[in-house]
């Protein structure tokens, strides 16, 4: 399966490094918006087609591309989708646009998300990828979920300009996924950027409110779910196992350290969304073959 | 006092009692308190009354605490009681979104929105500032935890928010870490660099809240935050009754009668009895560690639950340079400390 990446910022670069290691996926094209983009220079000689003209610059190669990865911004993705929708090819969206169904490997896919275009897979957000496996594991075993909350802190240096300018897109996409994974009527998401030097890893905390049930069962469930994520994000780990606060509130905290493919290991937020995108594409290859 | 009196002084007095004070109340301010307080503030010399959850609109959460009342109830109650004074809210991007929180607040009659970001992350608030300006309301930028940036970086961020369209910039000493000389250095540098109004928001952890507020005014700030009975996070804010008295007596600011300020102070002293902030050893330790004052009840609760010395937690939180909104890390740190010991 041949792939193209749109966007040569932090996420595009990290994703490209991962795709170049895969045997069942061939990264053949990358599109940026500036000829001077360091992202394009980095892949000179490593990726067949490089263009600074965005999606336009890929048009002549559309026939050769089986899957598009969009690593730009939510607004840009909405524009890109207008161009790509008619091609009938797979599009993996790493922006928080919510154009496609929210995808979290092994947890969320097109099921239960009616009305979403079948070829568009939305990778939600870094906070969504980190929290949804926990939210889903907890929701399967508590007796009733009234409210779910996911708060994340990430290193300032790992948040690119698109994230900074559109923090509301992040919040909405993360809340949408948390709601889908929990069945709660109300979901809340919080994002904090921390500029500490040296930069710190990504941390995500899930608060769940409802009728909780047996804590020991929840503890086992959460640990199993952590192991599943670790298969594609080795730096994913449990920081605080399920703790009950009040009679009806429990908390789990997760830490995400990155693989250091592009930004250093503190940027777990980058790693988890690009790793999830690769995993989603590989799952597609597995189904196709 | 040795300050020079400038009789023409145009100082904006910004009342944070019903917002920062909500930290001290664990976000349990009731509509009755908001109504009664706003009725008194309406005939006082304050210019703005800020209302809401301690962390601002859209911040009610398990992480920092659920509000007793919804933003809508708090704001419509305040709006009804405030016929002369302007109604303001605090808004932290990352907690609050434009669509879900800012626009409804404006629809409920809010005159001014303060967009609060961590001191080095002002660009995350550009969209929120724009939305408020486009609605024709006042948009002010707040740099929280301002002790965590160098003077140079602080000035850089202030210039940035002026470019985003902020009509004023307010420095928050969220950890109560500054001494008057720190405030003088920062406010002077900012006033020299920007063309918009500059404000200061003190916390009293080191017992110098009023002194810091006055240092800011002397250095050229024209907006000053205060809170009745000092009700606020940590050791509270610059106490409004004291601040008003000094502004009238020493700075020649026309605040009208002081009686309404005393009534506001007494109302809070009565209704918030048991929650009034005090400068304690713990608040001094947290200020020295440079940790957000809003962490105090969370640190206290976890220290009690796990039988840990709060000072150990404060020092470790300080060493990790945590910012507002990372309250869930307290439990992680507590567990680390326990495994070590």
Which parts of A are annotated binding residues for NAD(+)? 8-11, 158-166, 269
Pick the closest to residue B265 from B11, B89, B37 (CA basis). B37
The widest CA-to-CA distance across chain B, in whole angstroms, is 60
Residue ranges matching CATH 3.30.360.10 in chain A: 126-267
Distance from CA of B332 to the nearest CA of A (A): 6
| Cα of A75 to nearest chain B Cα, Å | 14
Q: Establish if A240 touches chain B: CB-CB under 8 angstroms.
A: yes
Considering chain B, what is the average pLDDT of its residues? 95
| Residue of B55, B64, B94, B289 for testing the chain A interface, max A β-carbons within 10 Å | B94
Domain(s) labelled CATH 3.40.50.720 in chain A stretch across 2-124+273-288
Q: Which of B328, B331, B332 to mutate to test the interface with A (most CBs of A within 10 A)?
A: B328
How many C-beta atoms surround the C-beta of residue B250 within 10 A? 15
Asked if B53 is an active-site residue, the reply is no
Could you check whether B12-271 and B281-340 share the same CATH topology? no
Provide ipTM, 2 decimals.
0.95
Nearest to B49 by CA among B59, B60, B35: B35
| Domain spans of chain B, in order of start | 12-271, 281-340
What is the tens place of the pLDDT at every residue in A204-241? 999 999 999 899 999 999 999 999 999 999 999 999 99
The mean pLDDT of A239-248, rounded to a whole number, is: 92
Contact A209, A146 (CB under 8 A): yes
The 3-state DSSP class for residue A69 equals strand
Domain at B281-340, CATH from 2.60.200.30, 2.40.30.10, 3.90.1150.10, 1.10.8.60: 1.10.8.60
Spatial separation of the C-alpha atoms in residues A153 and B292, rounded to whole Å:
15
* pLDDT in the model for residue A287: 83
Interface touch B329/A153, C-beta < 8 Å: yes
pLDDT at A35 over 50: yes
CA distances from B125 to A162, B54, B129, B135, B213 (A): 13, 18, 6, 16, 25
Choice between B5 and B251, residue whose per-residue pLDDT is larger: B251
Q: For domain A2-124+273-288, which architecture applies?
A: 3-Layer(aba) Sandwich (3.40)
- Determine the CATH number of domain B12-271: 3.20.20.70
User: Residue B341 pLDDT more than 80?
Assistant: no
Binding-site residue ranges of A: 8-11, 158-166, 269
Rg (CA), chain A: 18
From A193, A197, A196, A265, select the one nearest A235 (Cα to Cα). A265
Q: How close B288 comes to chain A (CA, Å)?
A: 17
CATH topology of domain A126-267: Dihydrodipicolinate Reductase; domain 2 (3.30.360)
Instruction: Please give the structure tokens belonging to residue A196.
Output: 């500490």
A chain contacts of residue B127, beta-carbon cutoff 8 Å: 165-168
**What is the Cα gyration radius of chain B?**
19
DSSP string, B296-337: HHHHHHHHHHHT--HHHHHHHHHHTT--TT-TTHHHHHHHHH
Q: Is residue A246 very low, low, confident or very high in pLDDT (cuts 50, 70, 90)?
A: confident
- CB-based contacts of B5-11 (< 8 A; 24+ apart in sequence): B5/B250, B5/B251, B5/B252, B6/B251, B6/B252, B7/B252, B8/B252, B9/B251, B9/B252, B9/B253, B10/B222, B11/B217, B11/B222, B11/B223, B11/B224, B11/B247, B11/B251, B11/B253
The count of other CB atoms within 10 Å of the CB of residue B15 is 30
Exposed/middle/buried for B67, CB within 10 Å: 0-12, 13-18, 19+?
Answer: buried
Q: Enter the tokens of residue A125.
A: 């957000």
A70: enclosing H helix or E strand: strand A67-70
Q: Tokens 């599109």 label which residue?
A: A31
Instruction: Please give the interface size between A and B, counted as residue pairs whose CB atoms are below 8 Å apart.
Output: 92
**Cβ neighbour number for residue A226 with a 10 Å cutoff:** 19
**In contact, A230 and B134? CB cutoff 8 Å:** no
Which residues of chain B neighbour A166 with C-beta distances below 8 Å? 127
Q: Where are the beta strands (DSSP E) in A87-143?
A: 90-93, 101-102, 120-122
Backbone angles phi and psi of A278, in degrees to 5: -65, -45
Using the Cβ of A122 and the Cβ atoms of chain B, whether some distance falls under 8 Å is answered with no
Q: Are strands A202-211 and A249-256 parallel, antiparallel or unpaired?
A: antiparallel
CA–CA separation, B165 vs B148, rounded Å?
A: 24
| Calpha distance A110→A101 (Å, rounded) | 6
Whether A195 shows a pLDDT value over 50: the answer reads yes
Sort out which chain B residues have CB atoms less than 8 A from A240's CB and list them.
Answer: 328, 331-332, 335
Residues A258/A274, Cβ–Cβ less than 8 Å:
no
- What pLDDT was estimated at residue B26? 97
Contact call for A193 and B97, based on CB within 8 A: no
CB-nearest to A239 from B95, B320, B332 is: B332
Q: What is the mean pLDDT of chain A?
A: 95
Chain A CB within 8 Å of residue B156 CB = no
Residues in A closer than 8 angstroms to B126, CB to CB, are 165
For residue B246, the Cα-to-chain-centroid distance in whole angstroms is: 20
Helix (H) / strand (E) containing B113: strand B112-118
**Exposed / middle / buried, residue A99 (Cβ in 10 Å: 0-12, 13-18, 19+):** buried
pLDDT of residue B9: 64
Of the pLDDT bands very low, low, confident and very high (cuts 50, 70, 90), residue B176 is: very high
């Amino acid at each position: 399966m041949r792939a193209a990446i749109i966007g040569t910022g932090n996420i595009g670069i990290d994703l490209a490094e991962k795709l170049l290691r895969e045997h069942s996926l061939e990264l053949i094209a990358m599109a940026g918006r500036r000829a001077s983009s360091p992202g394009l220079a980095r892949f000179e000689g490593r990726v067949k087609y490089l263009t600074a003209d965005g999606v336009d610059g890929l048009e002549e190669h559309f026939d050769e591309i089986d899957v598009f990865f969009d690593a730009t911004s939510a607004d840009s993705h909405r524009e890109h989708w207008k161009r790509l929708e008619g091609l009938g090819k797979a599009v993996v969206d790493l922006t928080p646009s919510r154009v496609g169904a929210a995808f979290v490997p092994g947890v969320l896919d097109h099921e239960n998300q009616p009305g979403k275009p079948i070829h568009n897979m939305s990778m939600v957000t870094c906070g969504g990828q980190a929290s949804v496996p926990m939210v889903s594991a907890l929701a399967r075993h508590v007796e009733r979920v009234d409210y779910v909350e996911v708060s994340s802190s990430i290193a300032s240096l790992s948040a690119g300009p698109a994230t900074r300018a559109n923090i509301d897109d992040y919040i909405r996409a993360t809340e949408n996924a948390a709601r889908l994974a929990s069945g709660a009527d109300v979901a809340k998401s919080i994002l904090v950027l921390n500029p500490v030097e040296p930069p710190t890893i990504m941390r995500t905390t899930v608060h769940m409110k409802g009728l909780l049930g047996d804590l020991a069962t929840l503890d086992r469930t959460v640990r199993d779910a952590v192991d599943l994520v670790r298969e594609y994000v080795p730096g994913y780990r449990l920081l605080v196992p399920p703790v009950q606060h009040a009679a009806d509130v429990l908390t789990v905290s997760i830490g995400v350290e990155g693989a250091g493919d592009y930004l250093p290991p503190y940027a777990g937020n980058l790693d988890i969304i690009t790793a999830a995108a690769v995993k989603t594409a590989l799952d597609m290859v597995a189904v196709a073959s | 006092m040795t300050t020079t009196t400038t009789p023409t002084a145009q100082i904006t007095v910004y009342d944070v009692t019903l917002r920062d004070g909500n930290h001290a109340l664990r976000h349990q301010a009731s509509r009755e308190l908001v109504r009664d307080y706003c009725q008194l503030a309406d005939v006082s010399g304050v210019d703005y009354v800020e209302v809401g959850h301690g962390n601002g609109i859209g911040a009610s959460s398990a992480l920092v605490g659920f509000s007793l009342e919804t933003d809508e109830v708090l704001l419509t109650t305040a709006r009804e009681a405030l016929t002369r004074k302007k109604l303001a809210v605090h808004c932290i991007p990352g907690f609050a979104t434009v669509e879900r929180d800012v626009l409804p607040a404006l629809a409920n009659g809010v005159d001014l929105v303060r967009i609060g970001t961590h001191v080095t992350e002002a660009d995350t608030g550009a969209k929120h500032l724009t939305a408020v300006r486009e609605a024709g309301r006042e948009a002010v930028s707040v740099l929280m935890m301002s002790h965590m940036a160098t003077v140079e970086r602080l000035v850089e961020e202030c210039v940035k928010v002026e470019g985003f369209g902020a009509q004023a910039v307010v420095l928050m000493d969220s950890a109560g870490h500054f001494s008057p000389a720190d405030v003088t250095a920062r406010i002077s540098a900012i006033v020299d660099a920007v063309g918009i109004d500059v404000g200061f928001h003190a916390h009293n952890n080191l017992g110098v809240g009023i002194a810091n507020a006055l240092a800011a005014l002397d250095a050229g700030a024209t907006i000053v935050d205060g809170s009745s009975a000092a009700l606020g996070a940590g050791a509270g804010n610059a106490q409004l009754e004291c601040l008003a008295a000094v502004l009238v007596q020493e700075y020649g600011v026309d605040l009208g009668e002081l009686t309404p300020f005393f009534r506001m102070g007494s109302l809070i002293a009565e209704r918030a009895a048991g929650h009034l902030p005090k400068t304690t050893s713990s608040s001094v330790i947290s200020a020295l560690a440079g940790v957000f004052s809003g962490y105090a009840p969370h640190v206290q609760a976890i220290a009690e639950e796990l039988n840990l010395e709060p000072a150990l937690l404060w020092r470790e939180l300080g060493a990790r340079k945590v910012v507002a909104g990372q309250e869930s890390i307290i439990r992680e740190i507590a567990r680390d400390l326990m495994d070590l010991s």
